[in-house]
């Protein structure tokens, strides 16, 4: 094994991270342009240390990915959630959503993911919130969305579907913090009277 490669794969945790979650840093060992080892350190003209190629100088910028989600709302004012059939969060409730593809807009991604995971055709409306989770290296956007067509449809990503009134959200069974945050912000909008009680019941995040 060549020396550069050894260094690249055995960097101390605190050195590797540089703010990059360790699970993500573990996958960033080689230059995507020339294949040489990446090194973590100072680069010209930047205020922070970065992963850069030891051979060609290519800088491997690491940025969060955008997860596009919707809160599909029924005519009766209930939110449609799915019980996740895949990890992470298997068996817990979440809103439909997924990673934005490189060739689609945020709204297109939200519509596509909702259709794939629920069978519902939605029209995204206002953004309920935008949430950072640095450890997961994601930013999650949640749209309130009107259901304009389609029908709930079984698929591998959902064990079952549920519709929940604002006062009936199954808080302890929500899959992700970002889902909890989005649902909390939605409830605040539609049922501000529930808000103080809700905040007391929510786990610390
Ligand atoms: Zn390179």
Tens of pLDDT along 37-88? 999 999 888 889 999 999 999 999 999 999 999 999 999 999 999 999 999 9
C-alpha of residue 41 to centroid of ligand 1, in Å: 15
Task: Tell me which fold the domain 65-201 belongs to.
Answer: Nucleoside Triphosphate Pyrophosphohydrolase (3.90.79)
* Residues 96/73, Cβ–Cβ less than 8 Å: no
Question: 28 CA to middle of ligand 1, Å?
Answer: 12
Question: 26 CA distance to ligand 1 centroid (A)?
Answer: 18
Q: Report how far residue 89's alpha carbon sits from residue 162's, in angstroms, rounded to the nearest whole number.
A: 16
Is residue 113 within 8 Å of residue 187, measured between CB atoms? Answer: no
User: Residue 137: pLDDT above 80?
Assistant: yes
Euclidean distance between CA atoms 143 and 135, whole angstroms: 22
Cα of 52 from ligand 1 centre, angstroms: 8
* Residue owning tokens 């259709």: 115
Tell me the CA–centroid distance for residue 30 and ligand 1, in Å. Answer: 8
pLDDT band per the 50, 70, 90 thresholds, residue 18:
low
Among candidates 99, 77, 48, which has minimal Cα distance to 169? 77
- Residue 14 Cα, ligand 1 centroid: separation in angstroms? 23
Ligand 1 geometric centre to CA of 25 (Å)? 17
Domain residue limits, the chain? 3-60, 65-201
CA 50–ligand 1 middle distance (angstroms): 14
Q: How far is the CA of 43 from the centre of ligand 1 (A)?
A: 14
pTM: 0.83
């Amino acid at each position: 094994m060549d020396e550069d490669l050894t260094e690249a794969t055995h960097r101390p945790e605190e050195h590797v991270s540089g703010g990059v979650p360790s699970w993500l840093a573990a996958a960033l060992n080689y230059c995507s342009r020339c294949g040489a080892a990446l090194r973590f350190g100072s680069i010209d003209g930047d205020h922070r240390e970065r992963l850069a190629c030891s051979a060609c100088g290519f800088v491997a910028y690491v940025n969060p990915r955008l997860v596009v989600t919707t809160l599909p709302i029924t005519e009766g004012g209930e939110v449609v959630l799915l019980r996740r059939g895949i990890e992470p969060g298997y068996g817990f409730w979440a809103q439909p959503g997924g990673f934005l593809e490189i060739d689609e807009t945020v709204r297109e991604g939200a519509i596509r993911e909702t259709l794939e995971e629920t069978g519902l055709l939605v029209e995204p409306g206002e953004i309920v919130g935008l949430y950072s989770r640095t450890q997961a290296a994601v930013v999650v956007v949640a749209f309130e969305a009107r259901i304009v067509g389609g029908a709930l449809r079984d698929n591998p990503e959902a064990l079952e579907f549920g519709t929940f009134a604002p006062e009936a959200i199954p808080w302890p069974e929500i899959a992700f913090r970002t889902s909890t945050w989005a649902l909390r912000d939605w409830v605040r909008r539609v049922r501000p009277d529930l808000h103080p009680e809700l905040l007391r019941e929510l786990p610390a995040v």
